[in-house]
Chains A and B, each alone.
Chain A
Amino acid sequence: MANLSVEICGVKFKNPVIAASGTYGFGREFNEVYDISQIGGISTKGMTLEPRVGNPVPRIAEGDSVILNAVGLQNPGVESFIEKDLGYLKSKGVVIIANVAGKTLEDYGKICARLNGLVDFVELNISCPNVKAGGMAFGIKPESIKEVTRVSKNSLTKTPLMVKLSPNVESISVNAKAAEECGADCVSLINTLTGMVIDLERRKPVIANNTGGVSGAGIRPIALRMVYEAAHAVKIPVIGMGGIASGEDAISFMMAGAKAVQVGTANFTNANAMPEIISQMNAWLDGHNIASVNEIVDTLTLNG
């Protein structure tokens, strides 16, 4: 048994496998499939100050090796999370990453202040492609990433700040550096790529929102390249995600420089994906006589 524990920004994870925001709710439903205390952490459903009803349906579509979603940040609001879900997640002993979104800079400041000291990390969702105001608008340009990071960091005196980066940008390295420069304690990437699937008979997009965020195995090589670039642009820890569905996928992201990974779409394909990924990582490390998962981080060497 290899040692899978990792430490990021002073927070200890029993393993580097974290549920990605929006695919795992607040953990209760997956706990009916397996004991969720096995996983490293949970990035919660994206939360806003007030409850949101989200987008019309259909909210999901499928392409080859990918899915598209446009849920539109349906969530019960941060107060409901604090009252009803936070205690439950604490009782499970997983690292709690509160994923938050806002329409304005002020929203980000307020929601971070509310969660300051209550959770293990706050993850800024500045890259949601599915809401009209805010969301991705903050995550595209380095200038706005700096602003929203600064405002959020000011409110987070006790809790480390994770900034989730959008792939729908000019330069992931520049944006990762922008977050680092303005106080991000770590960055996570990639959020979904914006895409479309068409129903030929109706001559309309399948998703009611027309476009949706593309995720799943098909985006993995893009995500891996971006994680590599970001990890080599900043000194703060990088958490990698994008199509991870197996232990070997997770290992590859860590080799590229990620200190931990998030798993999203694979939870839909296989309800037991996360426990399986953890045991596959273990097996891979054992098979390569590697004592600790930390030893593989950033060990990739490029072809000459």
Chain B
Amino acid sequence: MKDLLATVKQNVEIAENIYKMTLTLPESAGELLGGQFVNLSTGESAQLLRRPLGICLADGKDISVCYQLKGKGTKSLAEAKAGDRLKILLPLGNGFNLKNAKNIAVIGGGVGIFPLIYTMRKNSDKNFYMYFGFRNKHAVCLLNEIPKCKELTVVTDDGSYGGKGNALDAFLQSAPQVDLIIACGPPVMLKALKSALAEKKIDTPCLVSLEERMGCGIGACLVCTCKKTDGGNARVCKDGPVFDINEVNL
């Protein structure tokens, strides 16, 4: 884990209110796993918390993260220009461990697609069956960065791009023969995924990446707790963000 002063290489709006920022690190941060994240300063000194953002692309010393313009922090990030320098702590969290799985279903909703794209790119020897859902055609982005997939389905809530519907329904309809499911998206999607797997008695292993408001990002402050099914707490930043879907309450 390193805290580095990175230089903004590019920071552009790639879809409505969605930005992609590419930063150049001064040195290698070591191997970055799909599903791991970084803690990025916003560049605004009055914002004391860094923003946890999933790794979306990484190429040598260049690393890209994507974010949705939502509050003051992401507004500051969106104002960053090429050449600006931002502190970045990385790599954080456990990431997706695909183990021996060969055929993998990938379910992504909204901004949840970004860590999934990097996970697929990092594991090009696997067969991916990918289901991505967006709000509407204006939110669709980064499809050009998706590596070759066995199946690639993009849907929107209003049908303005691809089919009409959500990523989970697209996956359930297609029902691909896979030995692992990985998912990242809004809490409501992950919750529905858990219920659907239980209802349909699908016992394929499933890994989900969670999101929570974070403090330190490294597991020390116990701010980003999630509830485990055994009754205990887990730290989303350190024990996660990726968990077995049966291990956590959604």
Contact of A29 among B72, B213, B220 (CB under 8 A): B220
Contacts A33-B1, A59-B213, A59-B225; is A217 near B48 (CB within 8 Å)?
yes
- CB-nearest residue of chain A relative to B47? A62
A174 to chain B, nearest CB (A): 31
> What is the interface of chain A, defined by CB distance below 8 A to chain B?
22-25, 29-30, 32-33, 45, 53-54, 57-62, 64-67, 69, 71, 74, 216-218, 265, 267-272
Whether A268 and B233, one on each chain, are in contact in the complex, defined by CB atoms closer than 8 angstroms, is no
19 contacts between A and B (CB under 8 A): A24-B221, A29-B216, A33-B1, A33-B2, A53-B233, A57-B212, A57-B213, A57-B223, A60-B224, A62-B48, A62-B73, A65-B45, A65-B46, A67-B215, A69-B221, A71-B222, A74-B222, A271-B1, A271-B39
* Candidate in B89, B212, B222 with the most chain A CB atoms within 10 angstroms: B222
Whether A270 and B226, one on each chain, are in contact in the complex, defined by CB atoms closer than 8 angstroms, is no
- CB-nearest residue of chain B relative to A245? B48
Whether A29 and B233, one on each chain, are in contact in the complex, defined by CB atoms closer than 8 angstroms, is no
Contact of A25 among B1, B214, B220, B225 (CB under 8 A): B220
Q: Is the interface of A mostly helix, strand, loop or mixed?
A: loop
Number of A-B contacts (CB under 8 A): 101
B20 to chain A, nearest CB (A): 23
A217 and B223 CA atoms in complex are apart in Å by 19
A30 to chain B, nearest CB (A): 6
- CB-nearest residue of chain B relative to A51? B232
Whether B89 and A271, one on each chain, are in contact in the complex, defined by CB atoms closer than 8 angstroms, is yes
B220 to chain A, nearest CB (A): 4
Q: Does chain A have a CB within 8 A of B209?
A: no
With a cutoff of 8 Å between Cβ atoms, the chain A residues found around residue B41 in the complex are 269
B residues 222-250 in Cβ contact with A at 8 Å: 222-226, 232-233, 238
Q: 10 new A-B pairs (CB below 8 Å) besides A64-B46, A217-B48?
A: A23-B221, A25-B219, A29-B219, A33-B1, A53-B232, A57-B212, A65-B48, A66-B48, A268-B49, A268-B215
A74 and B232 CA atoms in complex are apart in Å by 11
B residues 122-175 in Cβ contact with A at 8 Å: none
Query: 3 smallest A-B Cβ distances: which pairs?
Result: A25-B220, A29-B220, A58-B213
Contacts A29-B238, A57-B213; is A268 near B222 (CB within 8 Å)?
no
Contact of B223 among A53, A59, A269, A271 (CB under 8 A): A59
Contact of A32 among B45, B46, B72, B218 (CB under 8 A): B218
With a cutoff of 8 Å between Cβ atoms, the chain A residues found around residue B194 in the complex are none
Q: Does chain A have a CB within 8 A of B3?
A: yes
Whether B212 and A265, one on each chain, are in contact in the complex, defined by CB atoms closer than 8 angstroms, is no
Whether B213 and A30, one on each chain, are in contact in the complex, defined by CB atoms closer than 8 angstroms, is no
With a cutoff of 8 Å between Cβ atoms, the chain A residues found around residue B121 in the complex are none
With a cutoff of 8 Å between Cβ atoms, the chain A residues found around residue B85 in the complex are none
Digit string of B1-45 for contact with A (CB within 8 Å is 1, else 0)? 111000000000000000000000000000000000001010001
Whether A29 and B218, one on each chain, are in contact in the complex, defined by CB atoms closer than 8 angstroms, is yes
B187 to chain A, nearest CB (A): 11
A67 and B47 CA atoms in complex are apart in Å by 9
Contact of A60 among B45, B47, B215, B220 (CB under 8 A): B215
A265 and B49 CA atoms in complex are apart in Å by 9
With a cutoff of 8 Å between Cβ atoms, the chain A residues found around residue B232 in the complex are 53
A267 and B89 CA atoms in complex are apart in Å by 12
A272 and B1 CA atoms in complex are apart in Å by 12
With a cutoff of 8 Å between Cβ atoms, the chain A residues found around residue B50 in the complex are 268-269
With a cutoff of 8 Å between Cβ atoms, the chain B residues found around residue A62 in the complex are 47-49, 72-73
Contacts A29-B238, A30-B220; is A57 near B225 (CB within 8 Å)?
yes
With a cutoff of 8 Å between Cβ atoms, the chain B residues found around residue A69 in the complex are 215, 221, 223
